[in-house]
Amino acid sequence: MYKRLFDVDPWKIKTNQLDKTNKRLQESLTSIGNGYMGMRGNFEEAYSGDTHRGTYIAGVWYPDKTRVGWWKNGYPEYFGKVINAMNFLSMEIQIDGVELDLATNKVENFYLELDMKNGLLTRSFIYHKDDVNIKFEFQRFLSIVQKELCFIQLQIEVLSGNPELVIKSGINGNVKNEDSNYNEMFWEEKQCEVKENHLFLTTETIKNDFNVPRYSVTGMVEHSYSNDFNTTFETKSMQSSEVFSAVLTAGTKVELEKKIAVITSRDIPEEQHVKAAEDILNNYKNETFAQHLARQIEKWRQRWKQADIEISGDDEAQQGIRFNLFQLFSTYYGEDERLNIGPKGFTGEKYGGATYWDTEAYAVPVYLAVAKPEVTKNLLKYRYNQLEGAYLNAQRQGLKGALYPMVTFTGVECHNEWEITFEEIHRNGAMVYAIYNYTTYTGDESYLKNEGLEVIVAVARFWADRVHYSKRNECYMIHGVTGPNEYENNVNNNWYTNTLAVWVLRYAIENLVKYPERQEELDVTEEELAQWKKIVKNMYLPYDEKNKIFIQHDTFLDKDIQPVTNLSEDELPINQNWSWDKILRSCFIKQADVLQGIYFFGDQFTQKEKERNFNFYEPLTVHESSLSASVHAVLAAELGKEEKAVEMYQRTARLDLDNYNNDTQDGLHVTSMTGSWLAIVQGFAGMRTNNGLSFQPFLPKNWEGYNFRVNYQGRLIAINVDTKMTQVDLIEGEDLEITISGSKKLLSVNK
């Protein structure tokens, strides 16, 4: 069950349909970003129909007071959320005194295209009224050459008639949030002026009660335009504009280019904003839209050269993986260690726009392979720099060590749903797993030895305090948790959580033995180590002897176990059709839970163990988390269940493009977009790195072939799989021995 708005094309998201009913979905799917800022695919001109106009700036957020009906000790003081920033796309257009509004105007030849090769968003249409016909074409992109810049080009051709055209182009700070605190303003004006033909607006976030720094943002606009226009400037509250007017005749073509520089107090003090914006605009004063676009194309070409996965024989699959990689890199490309990857990126406000565990569990493996190691190290540094906040989170729960937050901008927990925020503590283990993943993949132990061990020990201390000893059962347990399957809350002995806790403690012990000087520096006593070893040896891990499976939690098998296929189509997705009570009592699983642990620690389980658990849990899984399908795709491929692997790839690759879960209108599932890469590289190609580099590839039946590149321990490796063979080549770096389908092979640049 899906909804597809755009044509299938290997490199483009395109349509000839103006779908007013699904306008929000269209806006999500045509979002663009450059890691510094981004926006939904809103129209530049006014649109009176249903729309979610959103522009967002990385790292700019607001702490809103936690509001709950019944306060519980331990709640965070505030809920952090990304806030909608000034609308610098704004181009209000009038034709003969009538506002251009595609919700009400008659238009023909509508076309909308997002070119994933370069991030260029194009829209064109012909406006028709009486004897007037005008062709409009808008193009825009956010620069990855100069992160503070946005470029917009409007080309207008009068096909018939003699219309009077008025365009008010500028910056509008009268913006409000949608996801929470509806219609609330989070900004106040500081400056709104015109200076040397540059118009600008500076706004600052409203006051908060939590000593969180206020952010100020300045947007400055420079226009270049055809001589046909007369121009004036206009400023009013929270709005600065340049007004262009002309009476045009049939056959006339005019052009308006808009260049916007956006500066924030995260990087530059507010008193220096105007000069900084002017300097950037002046640096590019003589560079046209087309000239900068050429540089943009080259920079994206370099990214795609490393990261692209080429698929032959299946354009749907090809479009899906490229769309996901494009949106992922538009959100984050590792330049700033203060930033992380929000689950909606720059495409919406749901989930507060903050950092989740998705990054460590799903995004780190991708960035390790398709970007420089420094990109992943910046993700690790992000968590290390927030260790103090993690200590505070644990203290607020009356626990030792560090508890990394479920949702954060600063390291301090800022999410207020108890069952998720304070029970879904498995995310703490994902922070350590990311360190392990980085170290194993790159072979670089410097981070592990230094900053990494500080994080590992802090998390280990949390787990050692969070467990309790059951005298009756003579083992350690963890009660009152929510596992990855959020369709069950406050359960006891979630297998994945207990398994992860044991692994973290064991990993901490191993590395303190390896680096004994760090044990003293981190004040880890022999008594503490002995306690950790005792927990590792005696942790309770639920297991069912009859089915020979790991039990998701203590009482899971007491449920009415039945497959998802027993549900009628109109019940799905259950999170939109069932009460929460009914969901919690059901056996249906939101996302991989036990299978998440088997995916993480695959070398610790036999093929038979993997198969029994997959065969039991996969039929119960509704995949209503965007994170779910990729794990199942990888495991299905390993188990030889090729059709299931391809089905799960299709789901993760086109989750948003086909709106599988009927929620993409709220924004894209950015962090889970890594899943399509994982499904192909770890799934179809069977890449593993825990015992050296190995591949176990297969080719989906309806594919003719696929190829990709990965960075690995200073090497660049190309993998090509087709109907005849698997070819693995070393492009750069020293010789390397790898394993392909069980056979050893020495890779050399010269061979």
The three-class DSSP label of residue 539 is strand
Residues 6 or more apart whose CB falls under 8 angstroms from that of 302 comprise: none
**Angle, alpha carbons 57-656-418 (nearest 5°):** 65
Q: How far is CA 482 from CA 24, 102, 129, 184, 198, in A?
A: 32, 46, 58, 33, 53
**CA 81, CA 66: separation in Å to the nearest integer?**
11
Q: Which helix (H) or strand (E) holds 275?
A: helix 273-283
520 assigned to active site? no
Using a 10 angstrom Cβ sphere, with 0-12 exposed, 13-18 middle and 19 or more buried, the burial of residue 7 is: middle
Residue 443 in tokens:
């072979």
| Count of C-beta atoms within a 10 Å radius of residue 258 | 25
**CA 38, CA 348: separation in Å to the nearest integer?**
10
Give yes or no for a contact between 230 and 147, defined as CB atoms under 8 angstroms apart: no
Query: How many whole angstroms from its chain centre is CA 574?
Result: 24
Reduced DSSP (H G I as helix, E B as strand, rest coil) percent helix, strand, coil of the chain, to 5: 35, 25, 40
The three-class DSSP label of residue 52 is coil
User: Which residue in 12, 15, 42, 40 sits closest to 28, CA to CA?
Assistant: 40
141 phi/psi in degrees, rounded to 5: -155, 155
**CA 287, CA 526: separation in Å to the nearest integer?**
65
Catalytic pick among 486, 488, 618, 624: 486
Q: Which helix (H) or strand (E) holds 607?
A: helix 607-617
Give yes or no for a contact between 116 and 13, defined as CB atoms under 8 angstroms apart: yes
DSSP character at residue 741 = T
Q: How far is CA 464 from CA 433, 478, 511, 540, in A?
A: 17, 10, 17, 14
Residue 107 in tokens:
């238009």
List residues bridging with 92 in a β-sheet.
168
**CA 495, CA 497: separation in Å to the nearest integer?**
6
The three-class DSSP label of residue 666 is helix
* Encoded amino acid at 201, one letter: L
Give yes or no for a contact between 496 and 481, defined as CB atoms under 8 angstroms apart: no
Residue 394 in tokens:
């644990």
**CA 345, CA 368: separation in Å to the nearest integer?**
20
**CA 593, CA 607: separation in Å to the nearest integer?**
18
List residues bridging with 477 in a β-sheet.
468
Token pair 């220096």 is found at 272
Full DSSP string of 386-418: THHHHHHHHHHTT-SS----SSBSSSS-----H
Residue 656 in tokens:
């948003």
Q: Which residues are catalytic?
A: 486
